[in-house]
Amino acid sequence: MTDVAVVGSINHDLTIMTERHPLPGETVLGLEHFSGGGGKGANQAVAAARLGGSVSMVGRVGDDDHGASLRSSLTREGIDTSHVVVDPVSPTGLALITVDSAAENTIVVSPGANSRVDVAQIETSRHLLASARVVLCQLEIPIEAVAAAAGLADGIFCLNPAPGRELPQELLDRVDVLIPNLTELARITGLAVSDARSALSSARQIEGPGAVVVTLGSEGALVVDGDRGYHIAAPQISAVDTTGAGDAFCGALAVALAGGQPLIEAVQWAMVAGALATTSIGAQTSMPTTEQVEVFITTNGLPALT
Ligand code: ADP
């Protein structure tokens, strides 16, 4: 049985390290560069697979070298790619990423084939989506496809609403666990969010999802579950590149929920995965394994409820 079906984007990432980000119109000489698999969907699928989940990916790549190599690298991670369609028209999605010396990133994505994941494709994965313990989506594919996946999911439906945008109420009503970061929370609610306190009051105003989990980077995470709200402190770690932290968190949370862990424990475990993903460069390459997460928890304990 599939633990986690990830419905989302598959991109080729080009990452350049730089002292600082260029201003508009400016060119800066960067440092080293890397290229490899990315896309929030594929990143979260890789995170879930490394953390022991049986994972299927639903998505779309172009009929090109990037698409072929991304499919085979997902397969090498143990992910079922039989629901990844090869699009005859559009190229594989491409992301241009810069990471500065403070480990902050900027990203521009050209979605390519990802923008052609449609309702018809989602319906061909009907059986998978109905039988998966957790269906996990993001917003790098058309929202109609996300809504169709939500409608077909019989297990727990998790939505990482990234990149941030307003969400239709019918979609919010189908979400079991909504996982925004601060920016995405502000986009969903239309409210200014600057810190944990304002995030908590904003998250409480979202109607529909069973629970809202807000990730706060080095400030940890918030959980709003019915009337209850919790803040959990981030694991102490020295971050090198924050690309992929949120994806590691979402993939890990999906695996933990698929394994039947209660929400708070699942979030604490996922926070360790998110933190470990910041300790090396890249997105998929930096996704931690179950063993790394367990070693960290044995040494440092679970992140604390504050
Ligand atoms: P996103 O990449 O979507 O913005 P976050 O940066 O909020 O997501 O990261 C997701 C989770 O990863 C956080 O809730 C936190 O637990 C962990 N994390 C991210 N950055 C750090 C950091 N600098 N130190 C410790 N933990 C971190």
- End-to-end CA gap in the chain: 37
Q: HSE of 155 in the Cβ direction (CA atoms, 13 Å)?
A: 25
Q: HSE of 263 in the Cβ direction (CA atoms, 13 Å)?
A: 21
CA of 163 to the centre of ligand 1 (A): 16
Nearest CA to ligand 1 atom 6: 217
Ligand 1 contact via 215 beta carbon (within 6 Å): yes
Tell me: the pLDDT tens digits for 233-250?
999 999 888 878 999 999
Q: Give Cα separations from 21 to 106, 199, 221, 273 (angstroms).
A: 8, 27, 27, 27
Ligand 1 atom at minimum distance from 250 CA: 10
CA of 277 to the centre of ligand 1 (A): 9
Catalytic residue among 80, 87, 241, 247: 247
Ligand 1 contact via 221 beta carbon (within 6 Å): yes
> What are the phi and psi torsion angles at 5 (to 5°)?
-105, 120
Tell me: the pLDDT tens digits for 45-69?
999 999 999 999 999 999 999 999 9
Q: Would the pTM of this model clear 0.85, i.e. be above it?
A: yes
Q: Is 3 a catalytic residue?
A: no
Encoded tokens for 37: 């698999």
Tell me: the pLDDT tens digits for 94-152?
999 998 998 788 889 999 999 999 999 999 999 999 999 999 999 999 999 999 999 99
CA of 252 to the centre of ligand 1 (A): 13
CA of 270 to the centre of ligand 1 (A): 10
